[in-house]
Structure formats: C-alpha cells, structure tokens
Chain A
Amino acid sequence: GQNIDQPTEMTATEGAIVQINCTYQTSGFNGLFWYQQHAGEAPTFLSYNVLDGLEEKGRFSSFLSRSKGYSYLLLKELQMKDSASYLCAVTNSNYQLIWGAGTKLIIKP
C-alpha cells in the first residue's frame, strides 16, 4: 500500500524552532509537498521538493531525502499564527497525490 506518516500533534514555544517529519512509502515519486491548514480553513501551499536537499523560503525550510523516503518541514522563529496543521503529500508515479493526515502544531507563548 501507499502511506504517508507524520506525527499527529506537536507543541512548541513562540520564538523557537520546530521540525515536523514526514516519511513516505509510495509507488514511485514525482515530488513532495507541504501544505498549511489553519483550523476551519483551506490548505495552502508552503513548499515543493523533488530533488534531495534543503529548500529555504523565509522562516520555513523543507528537506527531502528520496533514498530514505523522508522529508521534514523546519519552522524558525515561531509565531502564534503558525499554529495550524501541516500536511505532507507525495505525488506518485501515476501523478496521484497521496496525503498524510497532517501534524497539528500548537504554539505556546
């Protein structure tokens, strides 16, 4: 089967750094996405990785290791508004998008 695993919930402190991990097992690989979803809202695109390595975009960075089937999303200088669910999704060889259940990130003052 195909699956995406990520922690259900994480807690971090305002101003700190948090890393959200995602491991995947899919039939082929054509890219990995991270989306942010605030409670009661739509998911919004954060990042896309298709090659190994780190992609940095402001306070957010995303890392990919295709050989390990692993990615992480790194959030720096956490702000209260970063409290949200973070969804990992992988495009497989048939260009189907396989979604994880999301990691709920709680930021405390």
Chain B
Amino acid sequence: DTAVSQTPKYLVTQMGNDKSIKCEQNLGHDTMYWYKQDSKKFLKIMFSYNNKELIINETVPNRFSPKSPDKAHLNLHINSLELGDSAVYFCASSQGEASGANVLTFGAGSRLTVL
C-alpha cells in the first residue's frame, strides 16, 4: 500500500493549458504539502494544509490553486501553464503541524513538462 500516492507521474502538455495533479495519503497524517523541485534540485515549498486548512502559501503565481477536500487529499490545479512551470512536483505529508521534528513522507513525484 503506497503511503503517499500522486497522479499522474508524468505530464506533458502545451503552454496555456490547464492541468491538475492529485495526491492522497493513507498515513492518517494531519498536514500535507506541495513542493516544486526544479532542474537545480532545490525543493521549494508551495503550499501546506493542516486538516484541510491552508497554513502555508508561499509566493507562487495565483495560477496555482491547491484544493483539499479532506485531510487525506491535496490536489494541485495549474491554469495557463508556462514553460517555467516545468519541474517535478512532490506531494508530502507529516504527522503534525508546527514541530521541528516533523518527518515528511513524500510521494513519488509528478514530472511536468510544458512545451
């Protein structure tokens, strides 16, 4: 049973299109995250939800909209895709919210390529 699963694993699309990435965790964790990892391998936090409530919203274009229907799911919708959106997007979850010891469990990643 996959702990954090995200779909699709690969996504190739044209500029200007709208796409979604879905994420589900079966660990019973309270907090879920979206990270972007670019070609330089830096992991950048985009959003974080705790029990369906948005707690972190970093400076990302408002073309990116997260949605958390319940605490086990956090989806990412991207409008009007641009070339610079090409990256690997990782979903992750952790047990609690504000704690230095929160270990993240990551999904396998979704590689988005915008042509």
Enumerate chain A interface residues (CB-CB to B < 8 A).
Answer: 30-31, 33, 35, 40-45, 48, 50, 85, 87, 89, 91, 95-97, 99, 101-102
B-side contacts of A102, CB under 8 Å: 41
Q: Is the CB of A87 within 8 A of B43?
A: yes
Chain B binding site: helix, strand, loop or mixed by DSSP? loop
B-side contacts of A85, CB under 8 Å: 41
B-side contacts of A99, CB under 8 Å: 42-44
Interface centre among B41, B42, B99, B101 (most CB of A within 10 A): B41
Size band of the B side of the interface? 20 to 34
Q: In whole angstroms, what is the CA distance A35 to B102 when docked?
A: 13
Q: Is the CB of B40 within 8 A of A96?
A: no
Q: In whole angstroms, what is the CA distance A74 to B83 when docked?
A: 39
With A87-B43, A99-B43 known to touch, is A42 a contact of B100 (CB < 8 Å)? Answer: no
